[in-house]
A and B are shown apart, each in its own frame.
Chain A
């Protein structure tokens, strides 16, 4: 592979971001979007070339430094690239979705005053994500890891005058930092045991350090790799929004819609999934860490999906869906089905980006209305959006032959066959999760595109939030312009076909080769490769399997409760209030974090400040005692006489002159 081309892939978006950010006013709106789109387009083309070289031409994996960041105590910390099949696939997904989002943004943000700034941010995001996936060492991984966190901070707070947006972005950054806190400890552990931050050294050393101990007290310790892997995974829990670090993601909907697509589909949130897959040579040696991953993922997959059923904000429903789908990917990681996790990551990237952009299209058509209770019947007015959204929904619930089916089915089967501790719990979570997914997805679809038109009555009572269009047009909603619908179509096509096209090679054909490592005893996906007889057979077999019937039940329930007999849903909410209320309160996570954790932290801070610093140290030790106060007062009086400063000033000059004189005397 050509190193220059590899460097260009992340660097082009960076340069475009810097130019658009610093000289936005100079190059203008058209300049900014042309530049950033061209840069990301080039990156995408180059990434696809890399994918072609790696997969079809059989070029060997590339692993080389770009430059030495620093050398400390003999440890080389470098910026460098590892390009293998896993990386190549991620690069292609990241740049492709990113390109779609760039194009879509031209239409979506056209009348926003922060237009050039927005393009700068999303290009910077593409750069950060590429640095993350292309890294060949932990230092750079952490750089990319934090950089995507930074840009998401900037993007969520894009409309910085909105109190909810700047609350959400602070929350996102801090919650992610809690994850990074674990992540950096994991990296420190790697450095401790391998004296290196390069992946290849860590992977090579994994079998040896699997049984080393990290001492946590004089007598006890934990297996090193278990500690390291759990620490690294805590980082992934932050980025990939796993319970209990998921709380930032629904709030991050405060950003403009293209970000939601970018953050929630292809990029930031999948960083954690990618990282664990990348680190498979480490995780494989710790069953305890993988069980931890499995249980967290299963919990997220089921319980976060449930929240999607009760929410009324169209973007938030999709956000909860993302949480749940990330849970599926995490479950796959937990049963060593890394390939299935990345496969689901890829298919999900397409159909989830599609759903977000479709939601965005609806939101523009309704002049920034996001509440589904004020939608309905839009299919008539927005046929392209409705059809593409249907496609995304069918893919999401795992309809056979659609892309989501292949990846989700592979995960559920892998969990069913895994002997790992926690797998039974996880199996029921992901299976019931299928029902829940179908329920919330079709609830959204029915409430938005079908049924009675509810958007007219409230059209002018709802005030648009600041920073967005305030004007309300009384006429019918109209289909969005081509810059919006073209990306929808561009994403709808892979949402249908990408699963069937790639399931063979990616999942069962050993696509990942050496880039993902699975111990023979853990290989649940590999065992099923022998039974695989093409995507059609696979899908036909899926029609007989429980997940399909669970999904169907979900769709029927959604239809019955939200389209056919809407009063049923209301009755259920009343009857099952004990269940409904915790759901609408999001299991009280936010309440706990804000009212208990944050309040307690501030309380301790005030206590330490007033009690410790001002009370104990200053009050007792420094200013305390009548004698010292009097003496202090005496000093103060003398200072106020007005002479001390000039006296002291001349004293230092005198000292300097004295010293200078000694110097001069000795020299001449």
Chain B
């Protein structure tokens, strides 16, 4: 289907603009329009998945139109096995955000829905752009709606969080832009494929690697540039947290796979230990920090950082595998693990933030100490929360297991110690997640506010059921996801271990 990607990008954006024009006075129409647009986008991502040819690593659904001819920048789109799952994830996760906001958002609801729909289109744009400048356009544009979401609908310290978030990500991106422009000057094109083919010396590669690392590390986020995330999550409204955790963090991981590994493979090989070390610090250090959090959202935010450590570990451990074994066998598994972990974390962290949102809507507190014994008054909610918590601990049968397992198994090929440190997440992840569950969900009812809780309404039921099914399906039968990715991952392995020197 030609133009499908453009439709996926522009349909939600146009719907968003329309909702703003309708304004808060017509919010009922706006709300339904938002739901219809997000559902339509999800429905349109189905043919994207089903007619995707899993036999090739080449870009598919390609669109190419001149955009800024003077700079040879193109409106060029295309998907491969790496971007496709993330696009579908984006389309999938926007729907619960729209539904979750239904009656909860009272200030400027039209702009709220519009911001999310516009962001959806821009995020799909990030994943489908095959022109680096277009990629950068979407990458930066997407910051604005998120900036607004936290800044307008956020909590009491939203200004601090917004500024911190914006400065961090913006500063990182500036270095990426510089790197892209440098490469454009050398290659004469912004096409990502031509950048990947561009010969670069080791010195150049190092500089570009560091510039890209800054941009992507902030987004992932990696230690030590992660501190914006807990603040942003704490202050963001539920929907903002969901999209932030589920999709925006994935852009960092996607950037590593799309830019760093194929464009500067030699520098990646040379500096891989840096990324691996930061990833393992994320798993252990952040895991310990997560353990002692008092705020539910902060705890899940830290848990996100620890889980995203598996993405960067899986991506960069491939060089150590080659170095240790002299063979590429297992490298693909590391990247597979990184990809699956991104999809799975999108589902699970999104679901957990929605769960916190459900509680927050009722009690207006994120403090763990304000809860206890929620299962007594909200048994259905408790069942969902326990399921997602267990998925967060990487329980087999849920999606959380697949990526972590693949990365741990692949890491063993690089070094026993990498897999050992990565596997610490089994213990720490269980400790911080289930301790949270113990304090919030189980136990006797601790306060009148908990005693007065109402169980899930039908909208919340639908949203959490859909996410639970997704988490279980990916956990029980991840084969289709892996099959879609397989040729692109193999291609990426060959690009990443090749040398440009």
Contacts and interface: CB of A to CB of B under 8 A. Distances in A.
Q: Do A and B come from one complex?
A: yes
Interface of A: 67-75, 139, 142-143, 146-147, 150, 153, 157, 160-161, 163, 166-167, 170, 173-174, 177-178, 180-181, 184-185, 187-189, 191-192, 195, 214-216, 227, 466, 601-602, 604-606, 608-609, 612-614, 617-618, 621-622, 632, 635-636, 639-640, 644-645, 648-649, 651-653, 655-656, 659-660, 662-663, 666-667
A173 B438 CA distance: 12
B17 interface: yes
A655 B137 contact: yes
B443 A613 contact: no
10 tightest Cβ-Cβ pairs between the two chains A and B: A73-B332, A188-B412, A605-B292, A143-B396, A73-B333, A605-B288, A652-B144, A166-B442, A72-B336, A609-B289
B47 interface: no
Interface stretch (B240-248, B251-259, B272-280, B425-433): B425-433
B374 to A, nearest CB: 10
Interface in B305-358: 329-333, 336-337
A659 B75 contact: yes
19 contacts: A67-B479, A73-B330, A143-B397, A146-B396, A157-B442, A170-B434, A173-B430, A178-B427, A185-B419, A191-B409, A192-B330, A605-B288, A605-B290, A613-B227, A622-B164, A622-B227, A649-B115, A659-B137, A663-B75
A401 B69 CA distance: 93
B285 interface: yes
A617 B159 contact: no
Interface in B110-127: 111, 115, 118, 121-122
B31 interface: no
Contacts of B443: 160-161, 163, 166
Interface in B15-74: 17, 20, 65-68
A602 B141 contact: no
Contacts of A635: 163
Contacts of A651: 144
Contacts of B500: none
Contacts of A636: 159-160, 163
Contacts of B416: 185, 189, 214-216, 227
Contacts of A177: 393, 426-427, 430-431
A67 to B, nearest CB: 7
A662 B289 CA distance: 48
A170 B415 CA distance: 31
Nearest to B142: A652
Nearest to B298: A609
Interface stretch (B361-369, B400-408, B455-463): B400-408
Contacts of A188: 408-409, 411-412, 419, 423
Contact of A173 (B141, B330, B434): B434
B182 interface: no
Given A177-B427, A608-B288, A636-B159, A160 B442 contact: yes
B224 A617 contact: yes
A601 B118 CA distance: 43
B341 to A, nearest CB: 12
B4 to A, nearest CB: 15
Interface in B353-402: 373, 375-376, 390, 393, 395-397, 401-402
A70 B412 contact: no
B236 interface: no
B118 to A, nearest CB: 6
A26 to B, nearest CB: 14
Contacts of B111: 649
Nearest to B375: A160
Contact of B159 (A153, A160, A640): A640
B376 A184 contact: no
A191 B330 CA distance: 10
Interface string B418-455: 01100110110011001100100111100000000000
A388 B481 CA distance: 54
